Chains A and B, each alone.
Chain A
Amino acid sequence: MIHSLFLVNSSGDIFLEKHWKSVVSRSVCDYFFEAQERASEPENVPPVIPTPHHYLISVLRHRIYFVAVIQSEVPPLFVIEFLHRVVDTFQDYFGVCTEAAIKDNVVVVYELLEEMLDNGFPLATESNILKELIKPPTILRTVVNTITGSTNVGEQLPTGQLSVVPWRRTGVKYTNNEAYFDVVEEIDAIIDKSGSTITAEIQGVIDACVKLSGMPDLTLSFMNPRLLDDVSFHPCVRFKRWEAERILSFIPPDGNFRLLSYHVSSQNLVAIPVYVKHNITFREGSSQGRFELTLGPKQTMGKAVESVLVSSQLPRGVLNVNLNPSQGTYTFDPVTKLLSWDVGKINPQKLPSLKGSMSLQAGASKPDENPTINIQFKIQQMAISGLKVNRLDMYGEKYKPFKGIKYMTKAGKVPEGRRDEAALP
């Protein structure tokens, strides 16, 4: 099981260590630092590093490496999932998960870590339960504690800990009962030069913010549940019911949680909501090149494409660019050769374009004419997969809650990339 945890900042200093079994010398992290040195980018440090006596499993979040030390055969995913949970908890407690925030709250961090893991076994990782055991620091509470001398550690056994719904505490009371659901879809696509899609997939989540009194039992049904064939549920969802009726039935945790995440694969046809036309040319022997790029919306069902951001890594030979955007602003970093263009909203009547010339290094050979172009965007009020919630019902409580559903589509972690020529002879 998990032996120890080291938190390492981006400059390579260990700023927190916690041991759940015997103390492991921090020199074990030298192996990690070695790997860190070898990696070209911070995110390229391998997640599992063997050392002669231990294994180091690390995740990089918010520019902090969370390095777990294990000694025996432990499922690495278990460790990684746990580390993610630690990060989420910190974020939940302190608003941000930064070195400063952790140092500011080091005692709470320590209490949390102690509560989350016992002898390497996870103990309480649900934010609801943790918050009953250790109260999150707020300015008001700090002041109150200082005056009254009370503590921020709960004296009572958390009620949810042993119930059949461990994710929900009892005795929740709100004056305004409300339940909000956000359907957020991210689209990842790679498109080749000719405009045909190489891969396209949709990652969707339904995030919920439920503030309901008592023990509400909710059901959520969809217009088109067939889309959801690859889903991961929050433990509160009754799987049997889903299997049989394709209805989400659950007693929700209190507050914010992720109800469901799903994956719509490329087999179901995924339409890309924007298109790019580009023309980048270099002439042999000339120190000038042409750059032209036009964006346009496509299949957005009348919804506006917003917060569009185009970025492209231009070839190394490009010294500078002189471009003229029809809207928005652009920047070019001559060191990293990164061109980024903040387009804003796409107006279908007047398509945004970016045109101009590039100056090249004298004497350099003709650069590659097909740099990768990435596009970020958002579309409100639309889920690109077409997923739609049918209705939300509540049982078990008498009051009438306020319900709300919001849809959004955005470009994923990997936005549309335009690669050069991929067609085969």
Chain B
Amino acid sequence: MTDSKYFTTTKKGEIFELKAELNSDKKEKKKEAVKKVIASMTVGKDVSALFPDVVNCMQTDNLELKKLVYLYLMNYAKSQPDMAIMAVNTFVKDCEDPNPLIRALAVRTMGCIRVDKITEYLCEPLRKCLKDEDPYVRKTAAVCVAKLHDINAQLVEDQGFLDTLKDLISDSNPMVVANAVAALSEIAESHPNSNLLDLNPQTINKLLTALNECTEWGQIFILDCLANYTPRDDRESQSICERVTPRLSHANSAVVLSAVKVLMKFMEMLPKDLDYYGTLLKKLAPPLVTLLSAEPELQYVALRNINLIVQKRPEILKHEMKVFFVKYNDPIYVKLEKLDIMIRLASQANIAQVLAELKEYATEVDVDFVRKAVRAIGRCAIKVEQSAERCVSTLLDLIQTKVNYVVQEAIVVIKDIFRKYPNKYESVIATLCENLDSLDEPEARAAMIWIVGEYAERIDNADELLESFLEGFHDESTQVQLQLLTAIVKLFLKKPTETQELVQQVLSLATQDSDNPDLRDRGYIYWRLLSTDPVAAKEVVLAEKPLISEETDLIEPTLLDELICHIGSLASVYHKPPSAFVEGSRGVQHKRLPPRSGSGESTESPEGAHSGGAAIPEAVPAVIPSQGDLLGDLLNLDLGPPTTGVAPAPTSAMQMGAMDLLGGGLDSLMGDDSEPLGGDIGGSPAIGAGFGGTPAVMPASLNAPVGGGLGDLFDLGGGVGTTTSAYVAPKTVWLLAMKAKGLEIAGTFSRRGGVIHMELSLTNKAMSVMTDFAIQFNRNSFGLAPAGPLQVLTPLSPNQTTEVSLPLSTVGPVMKMEPLNNLQVAVKNNIDVFYFSCLYPISILFVEDGKMERQVFLATWKDIPNENEAQFHIKDCHLNSDAASSKLQSSNIFTIAKRTVDNQDMLYQSIKLTNGIWVLAELRLQAGNSNYTLSLKCRAPEVSQCVLQCYETVLKN
């Protein structure tokens, strides 16, 4: 005969039948009926209709029947408040019962009936029970105050129950103390500022005494309460720690973890050199390890907390790596947490073991776990530098397995490894590219695209690879689309000549065909950057990235400190401050770790915790200052006639702070790239045309000048340099009309008859006439300065272009620029002052008397130390040695001697710069080989790069 019979009555008239039984005269029948009612209730059936009949059974001397009725009442009183009143009398009577069990039961049940009308009647019995002679009743009444507070907080305060409750903290019975603390803590949670638990050394002492004697649950409440106390000094802190430590050996894991919380918090106050501090650290490890042999659910919570503890005090568990090794039958949630902690504990000492384990895990069955294991390998590489190489090779092995999700995860982490150790493991890119087709997850695709974009210059077919992604652009996820956009822009900035179509394609896909605002905005930003200021674009897009920090997922230190104060709580499981997620905790106070009272030592934080975010702001200042200096210099320029030299700064010019110092033309972009200037020109019109022909979505004001300007420029291109035999690059736009209120300046440099000229084309694209032109240079590497005023004889009317040739001298003030051949120019007209910078070919500085005596050449060549020698390869040149020699001669590069060895011509050449620097060169040409080798020797080796550029431009044009 079992209780399951209560479930079997499923007939229609069930309620009716029960009603009849409840009203039966026989006690036994009544009880059976109530049991049936309770059974129905437990499975969620609605038996509230029987309320009056059940309440009628309440007045009985049978304790079991009474309890059952009470159970029923608690469940249904809320839905039948008027009926519930009927029960009040019995409750009040029971509170006077001689049997403490019944008194307690009555007060307990009354508190559970959440009906306002009943709570009014509850106050008097409750007050009596709080002062009952029997501790069992007192401890039940203490909890009842918390119940009542939950129903009607005002009533509890008005009746002064809170004070009575506080008095109970000093009760002689530990169980009463524990329950009083529990009740007060619960009430305090909803009243953060009420200062209910006014902890002082006396109460703390009482709590500590009760701690040893109360039940395990009471210990949890008391420990949690203790954790809110802030000891006055380190001695008090130590004495509390000493009295709490035995709790670490409790069988109840919740007691252990609450004790750990108290210790972790109070430890903060102990001076680190104290012996006791070390003892305490040692005592903390074993209980934490023991928690890991408990049931998996306990393990999970313990692991989440250990994760915090390891971040705060890695020394506690640093020797316990092995207990975190994953067991094959751990539930997945335990496995994942263990992995996390393994990484946190990984160090040079144990990395070999950890990696061996991780490699095992990566071959397991569970996909989530395998993924995390692969990621963990990557995190090891980032955390322990010595292991990076081994990690990379492990990852490559895993990629070879061709298991799809393993490959994808591996690629995602390799991306991070590249960020951490740039220029070290790029040799694996080829292997990665092989797996391109198998990637189907957005994150892996995005990572791969990032790698291709970032290392575009090393991947020969980067454009093809990216193009293949571009085909299904609209089917990709946003993450991939954004990455693809950036990668192609990077590719373009690195290889501008071959990829204009691609970049144009992706820009129009992103801006015109996409509905995603992020994507569209990023597309426009790149577009404008590229079209207005490619140098800036380069600075922005190809900016040096800060190294990623060792552990990207470390909890921010202040949050960590707060979470340490919440060890064992839900907050610690979610790693979020309680205020962020617990409902009903209205404005929870943020808990803080107490300050260390010792030598004023600041709270230490785990290594590397701050490196994540801080790196970015640091990187920025590094760029700005140098430019800022230049800004100052430029603003101090006098814009009057150049002969007068430097004059006090006109204040009007100072307001021009907004000018774009990064500014430059397309040519400077290409110059930067150390690609032949001339060689690029073929590609440039396409860019211009590309932009010119781009959609109407582009604002007209932006569009027209750029396209048009470039068009104009290339019309002119051919005619300029022909007057001199020396090579002169075609003009390029230095100053865009839109940046200079309609004045567009294009220009180039030439050397004619021993005089350097700046050839300028000024175009007025504004609506009004421009007059009063003047020019000034900033200090530069070779002292270039205008040798006369800018001769613009007639006012420049709208849409008119005038050609000016400005002779330059090399006697101006000198300051080393970066790059060496950078020239910053200010041009003034009646409208405003404009600034731009341009790069001049260093060949304009080669003087006509640069031919060195053979003997001197030999001596000088030997004399210049070998470190100063720079060797370059010039590709794709199809001239023989004589043609090359004469071509170079016209640019004042003089061939002194020629030698032929093994079918290889060697030309020995000398160059003299305007400032007297000699550059000696050896150019080796081999018949049938279009690659030349150029060796340069110079006492100022910085110029070598510029000289090489000249060789390239001259030889190829």
Contact = CB atoms under 8 A, between A and B. Distances in A.
Interface in B262-317: 286-287, 289-290, 293, 295-298, 300-302
B568 interface: yes
Interface in A372-425: 372, 413-414, 417, 419-420, 422-424
A187 B543 CA distance: 56
Contacts of A162: 134-136, 173, 175
B440 interface: no
B254 A149 contact: no
A201 B323 contact: yes
Given A151-B64, A166-B215, A422-B360, A77 B568 contact: yes
A40 B332 contact: yes
Contacts of A149: 27-28
B585 interface: yes
A173 to B, nearest CB: 23
Interface in A142-175: 142, 146, 149, 151-157, 161-162, 164, 166
Given A50-B581, A77-B254, A420 B360 contact: yes
Contacts of B295: 59, 80, 84
Given A47-B301, A106-B6, A156 B101 contact: yes
Interface stretch (A225-233, A279-287, A327-335): A225-233
A48 B300 contact: yes
Contacts of A119: 108, 111-112, 143-144, 146-147
B848 interface: no
Contacts of B319: 267
Interface string A1-41: 10000000000001111111111001000000000000111
Contact of A75 (B100, B135, B568): B568
Contact of A230 (B64, B220, B254, B287): B287
A104 B252 contact: no
B950 interface: no
A105 B3 contact: yes
Contact of A44 (B67, B332, B566): B332
B143 A118 contact: yes
B250 interface: yes
Contact of B252 (A20, A44, A81, A151): A81
B322 A199 contact: yes
Contacts of B320: 265
Given A22-B78, A108-B3, A73 B582 contact: yes
B333 interface: yes
A92 interface: no
B67 A77 contact: no
A57 B333 CA distance: 14
B584 A155 contact: no
Q: Give the size category of A's interface with B.
A: 35 or more
B254 A153 contact: no
Contacts of A41: 331-332
Contacts of A111: 64, 67-68, 71
A203 B292 CA distance: 11
A21 B151 CA distance: 10
Given A84-B295, A119-B147, A234-B251, A55 B570 contact: yes
A126 B638 CA distance: 93
B330 to A, nearest CB: 8
A211 B108 CA distance: 34
Nearest to A104: B2
Interface stretch (B17-25, B161-169, B351-359, B808-816): B351-359
Interface in A179-222: 188, 190, 198-199, 201, 203
B873 to A, nearest CB: 39
Best-buried of B179, B360, B571 by chain A (most CB within 10 Å)? B360
A307 B569 CA distance: 42
A258 B100 CA distance: 31
A294 interface: no
Task: Tell me if A's interface is mostly helix, strand, loop or mixed.
Answer: mixed
Interface stretch (B36-44, B532-540, B552-560, B755-763): B36-44
Contacts of B114: 21-22
A72 B42 contact: no
Contacts of B213: 164
Given A76-B573, A77-B302, A119-B112, A16 B3 contact: no
B146 A142 contact: no
Given A48-B573, A103-B3, A414-B327, A263 B322 contact: no
A133 to B, nearest CB: 8
A53 to B, nearest CB: 6
Given A59-B295, A59-B297, A230-B289, A125 B217 contact: yes
B3 A107 contact: yes
A78 B319 CA distance: 28
A151 B65 contact: yes
A75 B64 contact: no
B258 interface: yes
A122 interface: yes
Contact of B289 (A22, A234, A263): A263
Contacts of B65: 151
B578 A199 contact: no
Contacts of A100: 4
A43 interface: yes
A88 to B, nearest CB: 12
B256 interface: yes
Contact of B108 (A15, A16, A106, A118): A118
Given A72-B584, A78-B254, A199-B323, A424 B356 contact: yes
A283 to B, nearest CB: 21
Contacts of A153: 63-64, 67
A417 B62 CA distance: 58
B585 A157 contact: no
A16 B290 contact: no
A114 interface: yes
Given A73-B570, A263-B286, A121 B297 contact: no
Interface string A52-83: 01010111100000000011111111101110
B325 interface: yes
A161 B249 contact: no
A21 B319 CA distance: 45
A126 B218 CA distance: 13
Interface in B359-400: 359-360, 363, 366, 390
A110 B71 contact: yes
A347 interface: no
Contacts of A57: 297
B217 A76 contact: no
B583 interface: yes
B7 interface: yes
B356 A423 contact: yes
A359 interface: no
A16 B43 contact: yes
A239 interface: yes
A78 B252 CA distance: 8
A233 B150 contact: no
Contacts of A76: 301, 568-570, 573
A100 B862 CA distance: 100
Closest 9 CB pairs of A and B: A230-B286, A151-B64, A104-B2, A77-B254, A47-B297, A153-B64, A122-B217, A414-B327, A78-B254
10 contacts: A14-B43, A16-B43, A106-B7, A110-B38, A146-B1, A157-B100, A201-B322, A232-B250, A263-B290, A266-B322
Interface of B: 1-4, 6-7, 27-28, 31, 35, 38-39, 42-44, 62-65, 67-68, 71, 75, 78, 99-101, 108, 111-112, 114, 134-136, 140, 143-144, 146-147, 150, 173, 175, 179, 182-183, 186, 189, 213, 215-217, 220, 224, 246, 249-254, 256-258, 286-287, 289-290, 293, 295-298, 300-302, 319-320, 322-323, 325, 327-329, 331-333, 352-353, 355-357, 359-360, 363, 366, 390, 566, 568-571, 573-574, 578, 581-585
Given A47-B297, A153-B67, 5 more contacts: A57-B297, A119-B112, A198-B322, A198-B353, A232-B251
